[in-house]
């Protein structure tokens, strides 16, 4: 059994594809993880390869309860609100998102499994998705435990997207039924979002005079191997949340004369930061000069695991 599998990533589209045979499901708003099960127990790895088994104890116990078997499950660790919707803010609050190796635990997070990559000595990645999906459903069943199958929904994707947005969900995911499991972003999987949401580095902040918080955050993304400025965000913060974030940012202040990113936005009182803190940001669109439009802060991601930071093409 492989020790780690680089995940298949969904390509962002503005509307569902009109050709091809696709399977559709809800897009979950949490942490992408893989669950490994063998004779030694269970292990949960993040997309960046960090072992978070101890941080999701309910999921780990659910995985152990599936044995004896060998299995690799691909899916999303989420926390559900009282209406059954995944809520990244709730998950982030449980985990603490402090970047500490011994960070908080999301004791009641559940795992929404959407692919099966390995089963009882057999590597399934070469099989088409429709076959892997049937094997996943057979292996997990329909029990509402800590490890659940992400439901496949038979519907027109345009209608499904409309309903998902009306219910306050993040969007939908489509998977080509005839494709094998291929790591990376290759078009085999697609995502259509109600509102775009991605991870960005916090590269600085504009202080708010007379308060312990700040006026706005300055954000960065990758362009190749370089981190570049992509705009700022000044909404979405609760008062206590902003104060705690300000304290955390002040521990990673940038001490060089030149800012960590090229910046032409003006403002002499900006406090620059080492690009280590990662924020999840909702936004409506991009400007022609690669700046975020109508951005809002959702929460702080784990800074150990920067695999999700947005990459400008």
Which member of 27, 79, 175, 298 is catalytic?
A: 27
**Three-class DSSP category at 94:** helix
The DSSP letter of residue 309 is B
Q: What tokens does 81 get?
A: 């609100």
- 294: tokens are 């109508």
The residues that bridge with 8 in the sheet, in sequence order, are: 184
Residue with tokens 């990559």: 117
DSSP labels for 242-254?
HHHHHHHHGGGB-
* Terminal CA-CA length for the chain: 34
In sequence order, what are the beta bridge partners of 285? 293
**How far apart are alpha carbons 310 and 198 in whole angstroms?**
6
- 221, 235, 233, 217: which is closest to 272 by C-alpha? 217
Mark 14-26 as b/e (b = at least 16 C-beta within 10 Å): eebeeeeebbbbb
Does residue 27 have an active-site annotation? yes
| Distances in whole angstroms, Cα of residue 37 to Cα of each of 1, 75, 114, 296 | 10, 14, 16, 38
The structure tokens listed for 144 are 């509402």
> Mind telling me the catalytic residues?
27
């Amino acid at each position: 059994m492989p020790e780690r599998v680089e995940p298949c990533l969904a390509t962002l589209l503005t509307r569902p594809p009109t050709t091809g045979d696709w399977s559709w499901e809800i897009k979950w708003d949490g942490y992408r993880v893989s669950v490994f099960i063998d004779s030694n127990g269970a292990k949960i790895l993040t997309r960046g390869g960090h072992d978070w088994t101890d941080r999701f104890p309910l999921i780990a116990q659910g995985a152990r309860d599936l044995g004896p078997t060998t299995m690799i499950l691909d899916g999303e660790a989420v926390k559900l609100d009282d209406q059954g919707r995944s809520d990244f803010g709730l998950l982030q609050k449980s985990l603490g998102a402090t970047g500490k190796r011994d960070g908080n635990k999301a004791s009641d997070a559940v795992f929404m499994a959407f692919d099966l990559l390995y089963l009882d000595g057999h590597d399934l990645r070469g099989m088409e998705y429709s076959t892997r999906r049937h094997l996943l459903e057979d292996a997990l069943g329909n029990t509402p435990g800590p490890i659940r199958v992400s439901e496949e929904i038979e519907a027109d994707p345009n209608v499904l997207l409309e309903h998902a947005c009306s219910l306050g969900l993040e969007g939908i995911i489509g998977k080509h039924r005839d494709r094998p499991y291929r790591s990376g972003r290759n078009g085999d999987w697609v995502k259509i979002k109600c509102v775009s949401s991605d991870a960005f580095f916090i590269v600085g902040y504009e202080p708010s005079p007379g308060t312990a918080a700040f006026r706005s955050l300055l954000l960065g993304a990758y362009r190749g191997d370089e981190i570049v400025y992509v705009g700022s965000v000044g909404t979405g913060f609760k008062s206590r949340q902003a104060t705690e974030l300000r304290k955390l940012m002040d521990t990673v202040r940038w001490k060089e004369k030149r800012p960590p990113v090229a910046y032409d936005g003006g403002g002499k009182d900006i406090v620059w930061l080492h690009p280590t803190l990662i924020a999840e940001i909702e936004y409506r669109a991009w400007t022609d000069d690669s700046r975020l439009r109508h951005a809002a802060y959702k929460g702080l991601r784990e800074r150990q695991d920067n695999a999700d930071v947005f990459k400008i093409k």
